[in-house]
Each structure stands twice: as C-alpha cells, then as structure tokens.
C-alpha cells in the first residue's frame, strides 16, 4: 500500500531543526567571543591625560563649529547688517547639522524606543552652489522651530532628543532641497553596559514579521516582529564610556547604511530576517510568523551585523577614517517586496552611525534639553 508523505511538512520540520542547530551555535559563539560586550574601536578614557584625548580632528571640529556659532550670533545681534559672506552648500549643511547636534543632542542616553520625524527645508543658493550666511542662519532657525515642534508632539512620558540628520537633494530654481530627519526617544537614563541577552524573547513572544500585523496567535497589538526587534536592539545598546574630567562626548557626521536582509548569512541562515520565493507562491503562515526562538536568533543576528559585520565590511569605507565610531539608531521595518517575479519578505534595516569625539566642555558646553527652552 502506498504511503502518503507530506513533503511540505517534512521540509518545514527539517528547516526548524536546522534553525535550532544554528541558533545554538550562534549563542555559543557569542558567549565565547572575547570582547563581544564592547564596541570595536571605542575609546577607553580611563587613565588618559587630557592632552591625549583632545585630538587634532576634534580640535578642528570645535574651531569650525565655534566660528560658525560666532558668525550666527553676530548676525542675530545685528540683523540690519549684511556681511555678504558665502559658504558652499555642503559647508552650510554640515555647519547647521553639527552645531545643532552638539547643542541639543543626547545620543549617549538610553532610550526604549524612538520616532523619526521628517521635513523638507529649502536653502537659497547661487549658480555656483554657494549660500549667503544670512540665509544659512535663517534655515538653522527654521530647523530649530521644526524640531522643537517634533519634540513637543512626541508622545513619550520621559523623552530626549537624540540627533538630527540633514541630507542634500536637488537644486531647482536656486533652491537647494534639504531633507531633515530628527530622532526623539523615550528616555530610560544612562545604564551600565547591558549584556546581550541571548534569551531576550520568551514563550509567547511570537510575532508576525511586519505591517503591524500583531502576534502569531492573531491577537492585535499594533506592532510586529520588526518593531519588537527594533525595541530590543535599542534597549540593549552599549553604554558610552565616561568622559575624562572636563570633557564631553559629541557625535558628528552621522551616516546611514541600509540593509535589505540578504547581505549577511551563517550557512543557509540570514542574520536579518529574509525569505525569498522565486515560484510566485504566497508565503505560508509559518514563514510569516517569527516564533520566540527565531526572534532571539534575529535579535542576536542584528547585534552581530550592527557591531561586528558592518563596521568591518570593506563595502562601507566610511569606518576606515574614523578613530572611534558609535552606533546611534536602528530603524527596522518588516516589508513584502516583489521584484522581477521574485517575492521576498524581509526586515529592512536603516542603521545610523557617527564619529564619536571627545571635546572640552569649556570649548563646547554641555547640550541643552528642549524641555528647558522657553
């Protein structure tokens, strides 16, 4: 008598067995890996003399920022005077972004979740791409007003402003389009370095991959696996080292790296959630659902990607010139995409890093909280 064999069920059971085997290997590797609880290249400030930590790069940055700040102050105090001074559109973007972040940003604190608000502003430029100082100051004030509004409207009980990023777009009719992205977070404080918890998710923490589809038991929670992983990554970020006496940390020159999910693998498994189908079939429930074991696998996979693989990948040369980098923000979205007849569900990652520098408080005072601004 012929035996009925459910090929799909056998394949699914094999995949689950393979997944648990690999998950155990990844956990063991994480526990045995030396130094896995510290960011690579991060500065250890203990025992360093003040003159050693104030690098030439930081000295130049402070000089540039204070020069722009002084010009902006003079412009505000004497609005009827026109200096005629111009700067390149890239210098204008950099000056506004960097001064704003060192004045108002608290990226070193711990946040349980974040929100990113966006807006477009327009900087007048001439045919050679240069902007008048008074127009740059006006854009700075416009951005300050916008971000203050974003911060006030953020629905968090305890909140803090992390950073602002400006991205230059096209120039049309003498107007440079600049995209503003401002990140506000639900504040937790400044904890000690949290260890990576390999069992962050437990029984019942089973989530559908994206689109706020809720939990795998079909209970609606206005969330999804991507949201939960983003919160987990945010809650387990490394604490910044204590700066030497009289110094503060600043994060400058932020840059964002976007990952689709297929970039980094261990064997046949993707560190970031990613499933591809070339036959045009729909995804089944077991593929859409990330049970808590799989949530833990991708949580640890995200950590590996963020702190080890991306910074050491030659595809991203931005890290090569940095003596000290810091990871600031992860935005993770569960998405379904169809490209050339190939479907895939995945977690799109937008990972933001910055260069971290020590500067004297006497040169750049501690940041101001938006809650204290009248």
Round to whole Å and give the CA distance between 64 and 345: 45
For residue 71, pLDDT beyond 50: yes
Q: Are 272 and 297 in contact (CB under 8 A)?
A: no
pLDDT on residue 189: 56
In percent, the amount of the chain with pLDDT more than 70 equals 83
CA dihedral of residues 200, 203, 209, 211 (deg, nearest 10): -100
pLDDT on residue 49: 43
Average pLDDT score over residue span 147-171: 95
DSSP bridge partners of 340: none
Q: Are 369 and 160 in contact (CB under 8 A)?
A: yes
Q: Are 243 and 236 in contact (CB under 8 A)?
A: no
Q: How many helices (H) and strands (E) does the chain have?
A: 8, 13
CA dihedral of residues 131, 133, 135, 138 (deg, nearest 10): 140
Q: What is the pLDDT of residues 181-237, one digit of tens each?
A: 999 999 875 444 444 556 789 999 999 999 999 999 988 778 999 999 999 999 888
Q: Are 232 and 200 in contact (CB under 8 A)?
A: yes
Q: Which of 370, 371, 309, 358 is nearest to 108 (CA)?
A: 358
Round to whole Å and give the CA distance between 115 and 230: 11
The domains of the chain are located at: 50-190, 196-360
Q: Which of 103, 49, 110 is nearest to 73 (CA)?
A: 103
Pairing mode, if any, of strands 325-339 and 265-266?
unpaired
Q: Are 164 and 143 in contact (CB under 8 A)?
A: yes
Pairing mode, if any, of strands 342-360 and 265-266?
unpaired
DSSP bridge partners of 282: none
CA dihedral of residues 269, 275, 281, 285 (deg, nearest 10): 90
313-345 core/surface letters (b: 16 or more CB in 10 A; e: else): eeeeeebeebebbbbbbbbbebeeeeeeeebbb
Q: Are 22 and 266 in contact (CB under 8 A)?
A: yes
CA dihedral of residues 129, 130, 132, 136 (deg, nearest 10): 70
48 conformational bin, left if phi > 0, alpha if psi -120 to 50, beta if neither = beta
Return phi, psi of residue 260, to 5°: -85, -30
Q: Does 131 or 1 have the greater pLDDT score?
A: 131
pLDDT on residue 327: 97
Round to whole Å and give the CA distance between 150 and 155: 10
Position 2 confidence tier, pLDDT thresholds 50, 70, 90: very low
CA dihedral of residues 39, 42, 46, 50 (deg, nearest 10): -160
What residues contact 276, with CB distance under 8 A and at least 6 apart? 262, 342, 343, 344
Q: What is the pTM of this model?
A: 0.82
For residue 52, pLDDT beyond 50: yes
Q: What is the pLDDT of residues 234-284, one digit of tens each?
A: 988 888 999 999 999 999 999 999 999 999 998 889 999 999 988 767 899
């Amino acid at each position: 008598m012929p035996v009925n064999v459910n090929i799909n069920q056998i394949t699914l059971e094999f995949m689950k067995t393979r997944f648990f085997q690999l998950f155990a290997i990844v956990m063991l590797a994480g526990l045995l890996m030396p130094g896995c609880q510290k960011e690579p290249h991060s500065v250890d400030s203990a025992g360093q003399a003040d003159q050693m930590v104030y690098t030439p790069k930081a000295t130049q940055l402070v000089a540039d920022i204070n020069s722009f700040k002084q010009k902006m102050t003079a412009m505000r105090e004497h609005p009827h005077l026109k200096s005629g001074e111009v700067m390149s559109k890239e210098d204008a973007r950099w000056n506004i972004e960097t001064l704003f972040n060192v004045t108002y940003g608290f990226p070193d604190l711990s946040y349980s979740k974040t929100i990113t608000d966006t807006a477009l502003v327009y900087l007048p430029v001439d045919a050679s791409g240069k902007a008048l100082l008074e127009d740059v100051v006006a854009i700075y004030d416009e951005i300050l007003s916008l971000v203050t509004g974003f911060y006030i409207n953020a629905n968090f009980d305890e909140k803090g402003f992390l950073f602002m990023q400006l991205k230059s777009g096209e120039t049309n009719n003498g107007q440079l389009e600049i995209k503003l992205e401002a990140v506000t977070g639900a504040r937790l404080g400044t904890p000690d370095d949290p260890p990576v918890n390999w069992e962050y998710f437990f029984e019942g923490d089973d989530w559908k991959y994206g689109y706020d589809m809720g939990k795998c038991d079909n209970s609606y929670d206005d969330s999804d696996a991507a949201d939960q992983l983003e919160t987990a990554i945010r809650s387990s970020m490394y604490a910044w080292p204590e700066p030497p006496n009289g110094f503060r940390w600043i994060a400058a020159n932020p840059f964002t790296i976007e990952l689709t999910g297929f970039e980094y693998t261990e064997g046949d498994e993707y560190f970031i959630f990613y499933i591809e189908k070339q036959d045009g079939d729909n995804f089944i429930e077991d593929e859409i659902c990330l049970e808590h074991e799989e949530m833990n696998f991708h949580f640890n996979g995200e950590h590996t990607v963020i702190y080890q693989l991306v910074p050491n990948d030659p595809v991203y040369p931005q890290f090569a010139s940095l003596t000290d980098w810091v990871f600031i923000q992860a935005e993770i979205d569960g998405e379904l995409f169809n490209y050339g007849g190939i479907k895939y569900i995945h977690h799109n990652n937008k990972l933001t890093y910055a260069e971290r520098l020590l500067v004297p408080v006497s040169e750049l005072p501690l940041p101001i909280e938006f809650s204290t601004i009248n």
